[in-house]
Amino acid sequence: MVTFLAGGTGTPKLLWGAEAVFPPADTPVVGNTGDDVEIAGHLVCPDLDTQLFLDGGVLDTETWWGIDDDPHRTHDELGALAERAGLDSGPRYLPADAQTDGREIARWRRFSGVAEFMHIGDRDRAVHLTRTGLIDEGHTLTEATRRLCAAFGVDRSILPMSDDPVASLIHTPDGVQHFQEWWVHRNGDPAVERVEFRGADDADPTPAVLDALDDPVVVGPSNPVTSLGPMLAVDGIREALDSTPVVAVSPFVEDRVFSGPAAKLMAATGQEPSTAGVADAYPFADAFVLDSEDGTDLDRPVVHTDTALDSSADSERVARAVDAALAEVA
């Protein structure tokens, strides 16, 4: 078994065509839940769902979120209704006392359903309703995710990093914004003063996660701040990584990032936005997979390959490089 740690883009792209090297049934994925939000009372887990939909063969691989060809009549109607009612369509946080009331899953990440600032398709919504329903019935997020895997015919273990709520919050000169407001609604534009993983101090890794982290681990080419950061902030996960072989794939080619806000977030949190900065952020990584054009000199073993992940053939090539790096350290 080899366990992958994942956000919502880089690692799913790496696993896209990696079955021959890492068979799904033997390759659990631990997913970041710091990006999760509740909208209209429904728990949305973007990173878990990208992996779920990818493995279930329904992911929209143009956007890397949501279900391919998913109709979005409810979402469109929510927007139209808000406009007719003269309601602002930006993210609408619930009041402070409502953030922590009721369900245990809530913690400073609760939005009203008015206008629905995130784009949620109709089939996608059915997943959020089912997940929230199972949690309301007393199941954990881990159990709900296992049921959803069964529904999509997925034989991989997709494991939320914790069953406890963690909220990735971006502190900006305009105030605190949930990561989803900052990234999805404001395109990552506001300056970043600080990143907080609210709830992480009280969150425990699940037994299933700790079990999976006994095996060798691959950190895919994820955003070190908002995809790996929440996991590393949960007590017990970093310790587990210190005592198992770990290979990390860089989301950079030297100082050029493939996509997303990783460079901005690293710079804002005092880290060098580059492969060298990623290596500093991952002292527990025993070896790295870097792009063939990445000449960064690291103090740990490196396997080079073309790390662009634009097709399932690309992922198989990078997966073979990961396997070679694992062979050096496992």
Query: For ligand GDP, which residue of 3, 11, 51, 142 counts as binding (CB under 6 A)?
Result: 11
290 contacts 301 by C-beta, under 8 angstroms: no
Q: What is d(CA 169, CA 85) in angstroms, rounded to the nearest whole number? A: 30
Q: Does 7 bind ligand GDP (CB under 6 A)?
A: yes
Query: For ligand GDP, which residue of 31, 221, 229, 273 counts as binding (CB under 6 A)?
Result: 221
In the complex, the smallest distance separating the C-beta of residue 9 from ligand GDP, rounded to whole angstroms, is 3
Query: For ligand GDP, which residue of 36, 47, 116, 124 counts as binding (CB under 6 A)?
Result: 47
Beta strands 252-253; 194-198: pairing state: unpaired
**Contacts with ligand GDP in 235-254 (CB under 6 A)?**
249, 251
Q: Does 269 bind ligand GDP (CB under 6 A)?
A: no
Q: Does 309 bind ligand GDP (CB under 6 A)?
A: yes
- Whose Cβ is closer to ligand GDP: residue 24's or residue 79's? 24
44 contacts 36 by C-beta, under 8 angstroms: yes
Task: Report DSSP letters for 111-168, one per residue.
Answer: E--TT-SS---HHHHHHHHHHHHHHHTT--HHHHHHHHHHHTT--S-EEESBSS--EE
- Whose Cβ is closer to ligand GDP: residue 34's or residue 41's? 34
Instruction: Tell me how far CA of residue 159 lies from CA of 52, 54, 271, 276, 289, in angstroms.
Output: 10, 15, 28, 29, 24
Q: Does 307 bind ligand GDP (CB under 6 A)?
A: yes
* # residues contacting ligand GDP (CB under 6 A): 22
Query: Tokens 């509740």 label which residue?
Result: 38
- Whose Cβ is closer to ligand GDP: residue 111's or residue 288's? 288
Q: What are the residues binding ligand GDP (CB under 6 A)?
A: 6-11, 13, 47, 221-223, 227, 249, 251, 257-260, 262, 307-309
